[in-house]
Amino acid sequence: MSAPMLEAVGVSKLFGQVRALNEVDLTLGPGVTGLLGPNGSGKSTLLKLFSGQLLPDAGQVRLLGRDPFRDAPARRAMGLCPEQDKFYEELDGYRFIEVLTRLHGFSAAESRDRAAHALARVGMATDGKKRLAAMSRGMRQRTKIAQAIAHDPPVVLLDEPLNGADPVARADLVKLVRQLGDEGRCVVVSSHVLHEVEAMTHQVVFIRFGRLRAHGDVFRLRGLLTDRPYRIRVKTPDARGLATRLLALEHVRSVTVQDEGSLELTTTALEPTARATARLAEDLGLAVSAFSSPDADLEALYRYLMEAAG
């Protein structure tokens, strides 16, 4: 049986009297995982432990079964896009990535090829010729991502990878992150922008006060919060008639008619209620012009978990 791609077992990390991470157990495999939590929750500390920049005070961290802090060859299997810029400003994008790729042991010719391929993947084939000092913030961000993937690592750690990117670049980079996961890499994305993480993956890790709060599929985790019913909003011509039928459903707790054309209901089971609502509307000959739930997305799950964490 192969080792997990990333693993933390009983990991704690202290900075003086501050416990940044507290007995974290986490195993990650192929695919994209969103690492979420408020400022100071321990996200960046965990990424620094996984990338071998820090040594845990307790517990073990493993990268493909090896110690990333003590085992330098193990770190070659990892690509890191840090939140902060650390560039050789006088170099252009191509030369910058060539230099870093040479440090992984590739020849000059192969480093040039890898730099060109990586910059093309992030949409920097042309702008990569600029000096880093002259690049916009978005260009610099894409160049950081390019250097993280140029040596084709199986593990990719991205700390706030979309900072400074314009809307078009953000959409392209979200697509790229999904592609990296589909290629079988273990991709960890730490971000404060929840809807962008949701566009990349449904697999998430929540950290609060240095402790692991939850880990898994967004929809499965949301379904476990049985004390938090879902709200569903429906627009249909005869909202009152539909509301009467909805009240008889097993999982529906309440129905409020907001006006003749819209209603809001609460339910403990989203999918069964959604299917039943569509069926009842069809039976009544009603068209449904809008159907939404403000409680079924990543932002709602994040809000509920952070509230529960105090």
Residue 39's pLDDT is 84
Strand order in the sheet with 252-259: 252-259, 262-267, 230-235, 290-292
Q: Residue type for 173, please? A: L
Burial of 207 (0-12, 13-18, 19+ CB in 10 A): buried
CA–CA gap between residue 2 and residue 155 (Å, rounded) = 15
Residue with tokens 């440090």: 103
SS3 of residue 56 by DSSP? coil
Contact (CB, 8 A) for 77 and 155: yes
Give start and end residues of each alpha helix (H) in 201-256: 218-224, 239-246
How would you class 162 by CB atoms within 10 Å of its CB: exposed for 0-12, middle for 13-18, buried for 19 or more? buried
- By C-alpha distance, which of 163, 193, 161 is closest to 176? 161
The pLDDT of residue 224 is 75
In 3D space, the residue among 5, 21, 7, 52 whose CA is nearest the CA of residue 212 turns out to be 21
Q: Are strands 262-267 and 252-259 parallel, antiparallel or unpaired?
A: antiparallel
Q: Note the pLDDT of residue 238.
A: 93
Mean pLDDT in order along the chain per 10 residues (310 residues):
84 92 95 91 93 95 94 91 88 96 94 97 95 92 95 95 85 94 96 87 92 89 80 93 93 91 92 92 93 83 71
All domains in the chain, ordered by first residue = 6-218 (3.40.50.300), 229-294 (3.30.70.100)
Q: How much is the pLDDT for 310?
A: 53
Closest-CA residue to 263 (of 283, 284, 245): 245
Q: What is the reported pLDDT for 301?
A: 81
String of DSSP letters for 71-127: -HHHHTTEEEE-SS----TTSBHHHHHHHHHHTTT--HHHHHHHHHHHHHHTT-TTG
